[in-house]
Amino acid sequence: MTNSTGSFWITPPANATNGILTDVSGFPAPYTSVACVKSRTNLTWCQTNSVSFPATNSTSYLLTIYVKSPLPPPTNGQPMNIQITWQ
């Protein structure tokens, strides 16, 4: 997920203690993805399709989804959908 400067840092809402980043694109096999989150303090968490990470609103997070399939999703340039849940 990027903006015009090439990155998009997200700060959780107050009282958040956990975040979950999920690829909800729903593309068929052999599509797979890796969800990664990096904090401003340089901690990184990655897992296939969805990742849970400890969160606090005293820092911000960079969200990235990597396509792991041998070919791109069904149409090159097709938008992907992600979901971020703060708990």
pLDDT per residue as tens digits for the range 36-55: 999 999 999 999 999 999 99
Query: Which residues in the chain belong to E strands, given as ranges?
Result: 9-10, 18-23, 33-39, 44-48, 50-54, 61-67, 82-86
pTM for this one? 0.82
List b or e across 27-38, with b for residues whose CB sees 16 or more CB atoms inside 10 angstroms: beeebebbbbbb
Q: Which stretches in the chain have pLDDT values below 50?
A: 1
The single-letter DSSP state of residue 4 is T
CA distance linking residue 76 with residue 82, whole number of Å: 17
